[in-house]
Amino acid sequence: MKSRNEFYCRECNHELVSEHRMYECPECGGKDVFNSSFITCGCGERIYLSSHTNECYRCGKLYNIFGEELAPVEEWDEDDYYDCFGPQNEEVGKWF
Ligand SMILES: [Zn+2]
Ligand SMILES: [Zn+2]
């Protein structure tokens, strides 16, 4: 599934959904903006791709940072589990 981008301007509160990240607000020209990519889960929930592993709060499906569906955690081997949940990936959610 192709991910999309949710744009938010903190200067004028303008919000929109676009294909790509935008670094300037089309409404007020402000640069204090926030982009977050997301996909729409099969269940209709919007999943924000803010970390290496993103879980749907409604149905529990897992997606990686590219919006690709992952196998349920129970099917992972230990190395995969560590790659996704290990301490090196603490950094979640970036503000631009
Ligand atoms: Zn704006
Ligand atoms: Zn879901």
> Which whole-number Å values give the CA distances from 75 to 57, 68, 80, in the listed order?
19, 16, 10
Residue-level pLDDT at 80: 81
Whether the full predicted model's pTM is greater than 0.75, yes or no, is: no
CA of 65 to the centre of ligand 1 (A): 27
Question: How many angstroms separate the alpha carbon of residue 26 from the centre of ligand 1?
Answer: 7
If the chain, 96 residues long, is cut into consecutive pieces of 10 residues, what is the mean pLDDT of each piece?
92 96 97 96 95 94 94 84 69 52
**Residue-level pLDDT at 95:** 52
Ligand 1 center–CA 16 separation, angstroms = 11
Q: Determine contact, residues 62/54, Cβ cutoff 8 Å.
A: yes
